[in-house]
């Protein structure tokens, strides 16, 4: 009875073996997909120091015959060269101290054992940073008038991940003054009504591999005697008409603050800012204290520039148009973002040039014409420069290269 069962069983085994062998032969000739590979522990564009632990993982329908690894095109002996299996994982270590600081390429290539010799190569660009971090303020004592700009710079011995700076009860970010520079800068607006005091400036510098250092400097806000004006008045009918056809000015200021958060983290400008019109005279300086029937006491947060009615107004610097609208006080208004939260505002325009929100404009490009829309009783251009929403004296930016 037993021998009657053994023969069919042996037959089935032979069939099974034949099926498996046939399937392997079929796969050997027909498999045409590259090996499935992944690398753990080493990530694209990351920075590393010391010993980096990684792992090569393969999960492939057909066994892999050979594997090889390279750093910057040179053989890396950290993984087996003949795996001979479909699934495997191999740990490896890279001693970054044997590499120069900077960019490197790690590559792994695997070839399967099929007739097609399917190949897959994966590469990872990574950076080595074994240099100890060093940084210092270019200047350690700043004395800045109310309404001006504090230009703070920090020098590092290498490019870093981030620099945060705390002063005036606020936190600021520093950015390279040009691409791949080791000099980082920050523009701090000093409000017209900032209390004259000595302030600490504390910077924390963090490199790409987590090393950090703290620096200290001082910032003294100086009292500035802004001029005073008795004020002027605008016809009530004109004000009422403006309010009916215009957005509220708070909408403008809220929009400027939102755009400041999204401002590019690099300069869009080059060189000094230019006066946006051919100036015949400046009728109202920055920071002038006014008292008017409609607005009470307030500080004039821009400069009023006069030229012929409807003369051309141009962009003071390269940038992106972020606001083009009409507002009750500022009238027809253009706002241009110059990067790093620096924006210029052009108010009371008679009309707009053929530009739209989102357009990139160059320094000197026409953006409108001198007018008296909004809270104005004569033709002039109201020009502002704001840093992260806070107005500062724009004329300072026409005299200094930032």
Domain that holds residue 383: 228-399
Q: What is the pLDDT of residues 220-247, one digit of tens each?
A: 999 999 998 866 777 777 778 878 877 8
* pLDDT at 7 (0 to 100): 52
Within a domain: 68: yes
Q: Which of 120, 175, 141 is nearest to 340 (CA)?
A: 175
DSSP state, residue 148: S
Within a domain: 357: yes
Within a domain: 21: no
Q: What is the pLDDT of residues 277-336, one digit of tens each?
A: 999 999 999 999 988 777 788 889 999 999 999 999 999 999 999 999 999 999 999 999
**β-sheet bridge partners, residue 312:** 369
pLDDT band at 160 (very low <50, low <70, confident <90, very high): very high
Are 355 and 321 in contact, with CB atoms under 8 Å apart? yes
Query: Which has the minimum average pLDDT: 54-63, 101-110, 241-250, 337-346?
Result: 241-250
Task: For the chain, state the CA radius of gyration.
Answer: 34
Q: What is the pLDDT of residues 72-86, one digit of tens each?
A: 999 998 888 898 888
pTM, entire model: 0.86
Q: What gap in Å lies between CA 383 and CA 371, rounded to an integer?
A: 12
Which one of 128, 154, 172 terminates a domain? 128
Q: What gap in Å lies between CA 76 and CA 37, rounded to an integer?
A: 17
Domain total in the chain:
3
pLDDT band at 24 (very low <50, low <70, confident <90, very high): low
Within a domain: 20: no
Q: Which of 232, 241, 245 is nearest to 327 (CA)?
A: 245
Which one of 222, 245, 269 terminates a domain? 222
Distance linking the first and last C-alpha atoms of the chain: 100
Are 126 and 45 in contact, with CB atoms under 8 Å apart? yes
Q: What is the pLDDT of residues 167-187, one digit of tens each?
A: 999 999 999 999 999 999 999
* pLDDT at 237 (0 to 100): 79
Per-residue burial over 102-140, b if 16 or more Cβ lie within 10 Å, else e, is: eebebbbbbbbbbebebebeeebebbbbeeebebebeee
Question: Quick one: tokens of 339?
Answer: 């990067």
Given a cut of 70, whether residue 97 has pLDDT beyond it is yes
Q: Both 276 and 299 in a single domain?
A: yes
The CATH number linked to 283 is: 2.70.70.10
Complete DSSP assignment for 3-66? HHHHHHHHHHHHHHHHHHHHHHHHHHHH---PPPEEEES--TT-EE-SEEEEEEEEEEEEEEEE
């Amino acid at each position: 009875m037993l021998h009657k069962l053994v023969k069919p069983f042996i037959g089935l085994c032979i069939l099974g073996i034949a099926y498996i062998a046939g399937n392997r032969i079929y796969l050997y000739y027909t498999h045409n997909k590259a090996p499935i590979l992944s690398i753990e522990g080493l990530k694209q564009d990351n920075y590393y120091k010391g010993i980096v632990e990684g792992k090569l993982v393969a999960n492939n329908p057909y066994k892999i015959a050979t594997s090889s690894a390279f750093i910057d095109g040179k053989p890396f002996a950290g993984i087996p060269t003949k795996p001979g299996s479909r699934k495997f994982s191999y740990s490896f270590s890279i001693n970054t101290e044997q590499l120069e600081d900077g960019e490197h390429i790690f590559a792994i290539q695997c070839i399967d054992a099929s007739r097609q010799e399917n190949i897959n190569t994966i590469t990872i660009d990574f950076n080595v940073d074994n240099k100890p971090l060093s940084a210092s303020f270019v200047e350690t004592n700043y004395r800045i008038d109310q309404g001006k700009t504090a230009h703070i710079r920090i020098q590092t011995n290498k490019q870093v991940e981030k620099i945060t700076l705390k002063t005036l009860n606020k936190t600021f970010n520093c950015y390279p003054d040009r691409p791949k520079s080791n000099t980082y800068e920050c523009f701090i607006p000093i409000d017209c009504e900032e209390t004259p005091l000595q302030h600490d400036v504390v910077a924390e510098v963090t490199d790409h591999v987590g090393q950090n250092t703290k620096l200290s400097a001082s910032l003294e806000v100086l009292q500035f005697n802004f001029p005073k004006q008795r004020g002027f008045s605008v016809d009530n009918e004109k004000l009422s008409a403006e309010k009916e056809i215009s957005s509220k000015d708070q909408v403008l200021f809220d929009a400027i603050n939102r755009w400041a958060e999204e401002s590019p983290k690099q300069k869009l400008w080059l060189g000094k800012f230019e006066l946006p019109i051919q100036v015949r005279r400046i009728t109202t300086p920055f920071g002038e204290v006014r008292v008017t029937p409609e607005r009470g006491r307030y500080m004039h947060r821009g400069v009023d520039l006069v030229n012929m009615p409807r003369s051309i107004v141009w962009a003071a610097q390269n940038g992106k148009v972020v606001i083009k609208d009409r507002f009750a006080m500022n009238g027809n208004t253009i706002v241009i973002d110059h990067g790093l939260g620096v924006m210029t505002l052009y108010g009371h325009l008679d009309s707009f040039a053929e530009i739209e929100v989102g357009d990139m404009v160059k320094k000197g490009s026409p953006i409108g014409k001198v007018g008296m829309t909004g809270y104005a009783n004569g033709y002039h251009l109201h020009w502002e420069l704001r840093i992260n929403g806070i107005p500062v004296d724009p004329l300072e930016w026409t005299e200094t290269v930032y």
